[in-house]
């Protein structure tokens, strides 16, 4: 059985008292103690235009009730970023919902049900690289 753990540590003095959060999650199949068994593999994509691009296609994955998506902007610029959005695959719905922006060095780990495509669009035509992976149930 595969084991995949994710850990996050957050510390801050932004408020009048310090914050310290340390959490670990073992990625498991829905309703099971079995770990997630597949990945898309760690992928990187270099962008040199601001064109919106589908990087994760919903049709690529099945049985994804407890899957996760990891993405990271490998750059260091705090002024250049990737827009990250989810797109309904149903053309009739034609909805796009922006998740957020990944600035240089930013990353995200979010649940994914493979019911939408995930797209990115760089903020600049300067070379930028996105690293991403899907952990699949």
Contact 40, 64 (CB under 8 A): no
Q: What is the pLDDT of residue 2?
A: 81
Contact 54, 112 (CB under 8 A): no
pLDDT, tens digit only, all 137 positions of the chain: 688 999 999 999 998 999 999 999 999 988 888 888 889 999 999 999 999 999 999 888 876 778 999 999 999 999 999 999 988 555 444 567 889 999 999 999 999 988 889 999 999 999 999 999 999 88
Q: What is the pLDDT of residue 92?
A: 47
In the chain the domains, ranked by start, together with CATH numbers, are 30-136 (2.60.120.510)
């Amino acid at each position: 059985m595969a084991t995949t753990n994710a850990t996050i540590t957050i510390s801050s003095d932004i408020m009048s008292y310090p914050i310290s959060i340390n959490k670990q999650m073992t990625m498991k199949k829905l309703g099971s103690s079995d770990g997630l068994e597949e990945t898309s593999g760690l992928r990187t994509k270099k962008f040199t235009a601001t064109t919106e691009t589908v990087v994760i296609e919903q049709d690529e994955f099945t049985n994804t009730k407890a899957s996760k998506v990891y993405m990271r902007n490998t750059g260091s610029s705090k002024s250049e970023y990737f827009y990250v959005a989810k797109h309904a695959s149903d053309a009739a719905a034609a909805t796009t919902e922006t998740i957020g922006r990944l600035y240089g060095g930013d990353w995200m780990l979010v649940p994914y049900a493979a019911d939408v495509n995930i797209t990115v669009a760089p903020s600049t035509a300067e070379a930028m690289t996105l690293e991403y992976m899907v952990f699949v149930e």
